[in-house]
Amino acid sequence: MNFDPTRPIYLQIMEEVKKRAVRGNYAAGEQLPSVRDMATQMGVNPNTMSRAYQELEREGFIHTKRGEGSFLTHESVRIESERTGLAQAACAHFVVQLRDLALDAATTRHLLQRVEEEVNE
Amino acid sequence: MATVEINDLAKRYRGTQALRGLNLRLASGCVTGILGENGSGKSTLFRILAGVTRPTRGQVLIDGLRIGVDTRRITAYLPEVDAFYAWMSIEEQLEFLASFYPEWDQAKARELTQFMKLKGEAKIGELSKGQRARLKFIVAFSWPSRLILLDEPLGGIDPPSRARIMRAMVQEFRAEEQTILISTHLVAEIEEFVEQVVFLHDGEVALQGNADALRTDRGESLSQMLEEVLS
């Protein structure tokens, strides 16, 4: 995985797990790979992975059963709200970038509409 | 799992002050990056920890023990320049080394040789620098050492070898049993692997802390932090 080295790695791991859930790579209630397997998959330190799992658990996104492993939340609503959260963050990033080009809101909307139409064609 | 305690550690070679009174406490069960340019004191620190050279002043304790036979028994030290015999095959070299380590795990050595894509019958003298680096790694991880000292394990080797070594390190590191210190000036290569970092500059600690905490505070990569430390 390609990480942004200027941001905490454990946060980026958390985002990645959430993205995978949102995309349906893991279903609600499904067992996640072990800390070590996930660390190997993403090429990070197992301790950092363990911290990411702990934080995800604290947020209620995953839960760990002793001796069994970690599982994604059963609540699809929770995963859905994560989708909204991630989309909002992406939009905020996009808006900031366009502002940087000194585009006003009306032009931005117009541009967006055009791009959307092009994509749909 | 080993805790490393370093108190007022100084080392002077003829005319050169390599370390100038280091004070460090390195947590057990984690990977600490000792980062700095060539000549910052990284290798000297490792040589002292490995018991290869004595400090001019100060003290080091590994699991509360002074450096000596007892600490050498639990420490795997990989110097930047290896001491392999060119005329031996990889298999012969590993068997030879096994005789020095009572807890050597031959099955593990074989498994790692395979993972590192090395052939047991290959002569060491004919290996590339990257292949030799991979072999060094096999030696460090083929017995249950508690402290692993990797001095510049990625320097001057090809990117595929580096990637292989990093992958093996993630897989083989046993946080419950081992403490790893890894020194390098190629900081970008280990950004995702080190949890704690110590930046050395001119024999002194210039900056230290948890890698992710430093990223949160400074919004910078470890490479950028090193550049700042140097300027």
Q: B18 with B12: CB under 8 angstroms? A: yes
Please check whether residue A2 lies inside any domain of the structure. no
Residues A58, A112, single domain; the answer is no
Our CA angle for B70, B99, B44, nearest 5°, is 50
Please check whether residue A3 lies inside any domain of the structure. no
Range of the domain at A111: 77-119
Please check whether residue A4 lies inside any domain of the structure. no
Please check whether residue A16 lies inside any domain of the structure. yes
Residues A19, A33, single domain; the answer is yes
Residues A60, A84, single domain; the answer is no
**Taking CB atoms and an 8 Å limit, are A45 and B193 in contact across chains?**
yes
Q: Which residue of A has its CA nearest to B225?
A: A6
Chain A hits for B223, Cβ within 8 Å? 5
* DSSP β-bridge partners for residue B210: B196
Residues A83, A58, single domain; the answer is no
The DSSP element (H or E) to which B110 belongs, if any, is helix B106-115
Please check whether residue A33 lies inside any domain of the structure. yes
Residues A17, A56, single domain; the answer is yes
Residues A94, A66, single domain; the answer is no
| Chain A contact present for B192, CB below 8 A | yes
> Chain A residues within 8 A (CB-CB) of chain B?
3, 5-11, 36, 39-40, 42-48, 50-51
Q: Which structure tokens are listed for B49?
A: 């920890």
**DSSP-assigned letter for residue A27:** -
Number of A:B CB contacts under 8 A? 60
Contacts of A66 (CB under 8 A, 6+ apart): none
Out of A3, A42, A46, name the one closest to residue B173 (CB): A46
Our CA angle for B162, B197, B25, nearest 5°, is 130
Chain A hits for B224, Cβ within 8 Å? 6
Please check whether residue A46 lies inside any domain of the structure. yes
N-to-C CA span, chain A: 33
- Residues B92-116 have pLDDT tens digits of 999 999 998 889 999 999 999 999 9
Residues A71, A19, single domain; the answer is yes
Examine the pLDDT at A18 and tell me if it is beyond 90.
Answer: yes
| Chain A contact present for B212, CB below 8 A | yes
Strands A69-72 and A62-65: antiparallel
Residues A81, A115, single domain; the answer is yes
Examine the pLDDT at B49 and tell me if it is beyond 70.
Answer: yes
Cα–Cα distance, A47 to A49 (Å, whole number) = 5
| Chain A contact present for B210, CB below 8 A | no
Mean pLDDT (chain B) is 92
Cα–Cα distance, B152 to B35 (Å, whole number) = 10
| Chain A contact present for B177, CB below 8 A | no
Q: Among A76, A91, A110, identify where a domain stops.
A: A76
The three-class DSSP label of residue B58 is strand
Cα–Cα distance, A66 to A63 (Å, whole number) = 10
Q: B133 with B165: CB under 8 angstroms? A: yes
* DSSP β-bridge partners for residue B181: B32, B149
pLDDT at A107: 87
Contacts of A83 (CB under 8 A, 6+ apart): A22
Select the residue from A38, A48, A53 to test the B interface by mutation, using most B Cβ atoms within 10 A. A48
Of B195, B149, B141, nearest to B171 by C-alpha is B141
Residues A17, A38, single domain; the answer is yes
Residues A14, A67, single domain; the answer is yes
Residues A86, A64, single domain; the answer is no
Residues A72, A83, single domain; the answer is no
- Residues A70-110 have pLDDT tens digits of 999 999 999 999 999 989 988 898 888 888 888 888 888 89
* DSSP β-bridge partners for residue B26: B4
Please check whether residue A110 lies inside any domain of the structure. yes
Examine the pLDDT at B1 and tell me if it is beyond 70.
Answer: no
Percent above pLDDT 70 for chain B: 100
Distance from CA of A33 to the nearest CA of B (A): 14
| Chain A contact present for B86, CB below 8 A | no
Please check whether residue A83 lies inside any domain of the structure. yes
Chain B hits for A5, Cβ within 8 Å? 188, 191-192, 215, 221-223
Report the domain count for chain A: 2
**φ, ψ dihedrals at A63, nearest 5°:** -140, 150
Domain of residue A14, CATH code: 1.10.10.10
DSSP for A33-70, please give it: PPHHHHHHHHT--HHHHHHHHHHHHHTTSEEEETTTEE
Chain A hits for B225, Cβ within 8 Å? none
Q: B42 with B34: CB under 8 angstroms? A: yes
**Taking CB atoms and an 8 Å limit, are B216 and A8 in contact across chains?**
yes
